Amino acid sequence: MDDAASSATQPALTLDAPPSPAPTAAPHSGDQYGAGDGGRGLAWFSDLAEPPLAIGVLSLVGAALFLVNLGGYPFYTKGEPREAVTVFNMLHGGGFVLPLRAGIEVPSKPLLMHWLAAIISILAGGVSEWTVRMPSAVFAIGGMLAAYLYLRRLFDDRIGFLAALVLGTTVQYLQAGSGARVDMTLTFFLEIAFFEFILIAEGLTARRMTLYFAIAMAVLSKGPVGLLLPGLVALVWIAVEGRWKLLGELGLLRGAALVAVLAGGWYVAAALTGGMPFVHKQLLAENFFRFVPAGGFHEGHAHPFYYMEGALMAGFMPWTPLLLIVFVQAAHRPRQMDPRLSYLMVWFAVVLLFYNLPQSKRGVYLLALYPSLAALLAIYVEAAARLLDVSGNWIRWLSQLAAVFFAIAGLDVLLGLSLLAFAPHALELILKNLVITNYDFVPQLELAAAAHPFVGMGLGIAMIALGVFAIRGRQSAERLCVIVTGGMICISLAANLFVVPALANALTLEPFTHEAMNLVGTRTVGYMGALNYDVAYYSGRNLPVVSIWNGPRPEFLIAWREEFLRLPPATREQFRAVLLSHPTELDGSGGMVLLRCEPGFAPEIPGPPGAEPQPKTEPPAFDV
């Protein structure tokens, strides 16, 4: 798709030795790589950052972070089964252009992640938690490798390697990379698009269509934002640098045609299939109305303007404290503002400002800027590794903080395992003080701990050892970063092997759904008032949403326990509760109930009574 002749004169993105980095400020005394600790950085870190060793290390780190026990626990949140039912319907006659969620709802996002999950499910023999989560995990590891490969071209191996480690171990990236959501798919292709543009601008590649293919895939991941963000970042940077001639070198016409065919083609097909409901849901409600308020449209996740900054600081943990090094280095030894550094800053600032504008805000939206922030952190931490005279005190302080944190975390793991083995009731009392009263959580923790007893102890000991290692010997920036990375790997493994499976098994509606469907058999059943994605996925059935106030009723209804208890007593008497799920919240609240419509009542009920719904009360005596 690119010109072969020009590609012979421009280097492609490979594992070959990177070109000379962009011009920087003249090095200060001692600002060179060296072989020992202290002012010149660690030689072993430089060796570790060189390919192909770095590729192998990052792949292993990514596998530990995102692939371990990926399908070992059921869905338990609203978001994951919402995407899974779309994949399920694709493979069960719902079509691939616009399959309805559970046969009822128009999907709220484009379908690239779902198509990939469907392909994996076909290869694996069926849809499962593992197959639906796999695209996010693969793209999370791919995003780490992409950060390394691009940044070593733009700067050097050390910066690329460190940035990849930082990116993969941030809390928000970890969460998105292990869940069946579209955000990591979008993040990966936006990252490729952002980096491809600066490679083109700096003359490091002759490719053009890779940029536009990545944009098209980003659009097919989550909509027009996949085009808007790369376009805005590029335009602002071109304006800042005054490089308007670059517009003529981007192959805009060919690129626009590619995006129109790949992304626009699906939108046309989906609009023809879904009609106005699709246009209103995906183009208006999910995009336009988030920036231009409209009467009758109610946004979810509404937060004030400054919410995103706090979400960024929390989501970028555990690396947020290391941003102090960035400020200290920038203040005392400022780096020359070359085009590559300014591009990273523009990328960060534009994405952050963009997501501050809509009223609907979530921290996961900011994943698009994480590669740029990780790169900026890596640039200044790498400078601190060479010149400890500027940030040495901060590095020592942060090393001590890391030592305390990981030592306490390791002791907590060992204490928790001991309580689970010898005094589970004591652990229940401790959790009760934290308002964690779900009666099934501690038993599920016991089962998870019993399944991997030596792994749990090993992770606790490893975190304590990392804490000790952090304060022994000569501290350095690279040493600190390796310790934080190792600690996050241990925490991630502990979460994925113990905490998350226990949480999921305690809160999931999978056992309730299977038992409910066995009780229902071939008789009619529907949802009371609203669709439930967990039930839709685990039942494998497209059930109607039913109003109890008018229209015919099925023989059984599935309802939220609290919603059922809010009904007037006279209305509740028209149903018999035959099955109650366990609580779906850690505080013991929530839960679904299977209702049987009692015979003898009219199948059609007049409109809702004028009286206000009854307040929440204790549940009646359920016949289960």
Residue range 208-259, pLDDT digits in tens: 999 999 999 999 999 999 999 999 999 999 999 999 999 999 999 999 999 9
Q: Can the peptide bond before residue 74 be classed as cis, meaning omega within 30 degrees of 0?
A: no
Q: Which is higher by pLDDT, 8 or 213?
A: 213
d(C-alpha 102, C-alpha 89), whole Å: 7
Torsion of CA 509, 514, 520, 526, to 10 degrees: 40
DSSP state of 525: E
Question: Residues 6 or more apart from 345 whose CB is under 8 A from it?
Answer: 372, 376
| Amino acid identity for residue 484 in this structure | V
- Looking at every residue in the chain, the average pLDDT score rounds to 87
Q: Which two tokens stand for residue 145?
A: 């490798």
**Does 100 score more than 70 pLDDT?**
yes
Q: Which helix (H) or strand (E) holds 210?
A: helix 209-222
DSSP state of 597: E
The model's pTM is 0.88
Q: Which is higher by pLDDT, 623 or 94?
A: 94
Question: Residues 6 or more apart from 116 whose CB is under 8 A from it?
Answer: 135, 185
What are the two backbone dihedrals, phi and then psi, of residue 593, each rounded to the nearest 5 degrees?
A: -135, 140
Instruction: Give per-residue pLDDT as tens, 469-489.
Output: 998 877 888 899 999 999 999
Q: Which is higher by pLDDT, 41 or 109?
A: 109
- Give the model's pLDDT for residue 477: 87
d(C-alpha 557, C-alpha 391), whole Å: 64
**Does 66 score more than 90 pLDDT?**
yes
- Give the model's pLDDT for residue 103: 86
Q: Which is higher by pLDDT, 392 or 497?
A: 497
pLDDT > 90 in the chain, percent: 72
pLDDT tier for residue 450 given thresholds of 50, 70 and 90:
very high
- Give the model's pLDDT for residue 292: 63
Residue with tokens 């996925």, as numbered in its chain = 537
Tell me the sheet residues that pair with 579: 594
- Give the model's pLDDT for residue 348: 98
Tell me the sheet residues that pair with 545: 527
- Give the model's pLDDT for residue 335: 82
Q: Which two tokens stand for residue 399?
A: 């090393």
pLDDT tier for residue 290 given thresholds of 50, 70 and 90:
low
Instruction: Give per-residue pLDDT as tens, 515-568.
Output: 999 999 999 999 998 899 999 999 999 999 998 888 788 999 999 999 999 999
Instruction: Give per-residue pLDDT as tens, 410-430.
Output: 999 999 999 999 999 999 999
- Give the model's pLDDT for residue 299: 54
d(C-alpha 141, C-alpha 215), whole Å: 19
**Does 619 score more than 60 pLDDT?**
no
> Is-contact 462 410, C-beta < 8 A?
yes
Question: Residues 6 or more apart from 46 whose CB is under 8 A from it?
Answer: 33, 157, 158
- Give the model's pLDDT for residue 200: 98
Cβ count near 113 (within 10 Å) = 26
Residue 506, phi-psi category: left (phi > 0), alpha (psi -120 to 50), beta (remainder): alpha
- Give the model's pLDDT for residue 427: 95
Task: Using only the alpha carbons of the chain, give its radius of gyration.
Answer: 27
- Give the model's pLDDT for residue 26: 35
**Does 18 score more than 70 pLDDT?**
no
pLDDT tier for residue 41 given thresholds of 50, 70 and 90:
low
d(C-alpha 167, C-alpha 144), whole Å: 7
- Give the model's pLDDT for residue 225: 95
**Does 32 score more than 50 pLDDT?**
no
DSSP state of 108: S
d(C-alpha 41, C-alpha 92), whole Å: 57
- Give the model's pLDDT for residue 547: 87
Torsion of CA 114, 116, 118, 122, to 10 degrees: -170
pLDDT tier for residue 283 given thresholds of 50, 70 and 90:
confident
pLDDT tier for residue 391 given thresholds of 50, 70 and 90:
confident
- Give the model's pLDDT for residue 550: 81
> Is-contact 23 222, C-beta < 8 A?
no
Instruction: Give per-residue pLDDT as tens, 299-354.
Output: 556 677 778 999 999 999 999 999 988 888 888 788 889 999 999 999 999 999 99
- In 549-574, which positions are buried (b, 16+ CB within 10 angstroms) versus exposed (e)? eeeebbebbbbbbeebbbbeeebbeb
pLDDT tier for residue 606 given thresholds of 50, 70 and 90:
very low
pLDDT > 70 in the chain, percent: 86
d(C-alpha 176, C-alpha 140), whole Å: 8
- Give the model's pLDDT for residue 370: 98
d(C-alpha 271, C-alpha 284), whole Å: 13
- Give the model's pLDDT for residue 37: 40
Average pLDDT value for residue range 377-391:
82
Instruction: Give per-residue pLDDT as tens, 155-186.
Output: 999 999 999 999 999 999 999 999 999 999 99
pLDDT tier for residue 616 given thresholds of 50, 70 and 90:
very low
d(C-alpha 416, C-alpha 404), whole Å: 18
Residue with tokens 């015919």, as numbered in its chain = 552
**Does 602 score more than 50 pLDDT?**
no
- Give the model's pLDDT for residue 359: 77
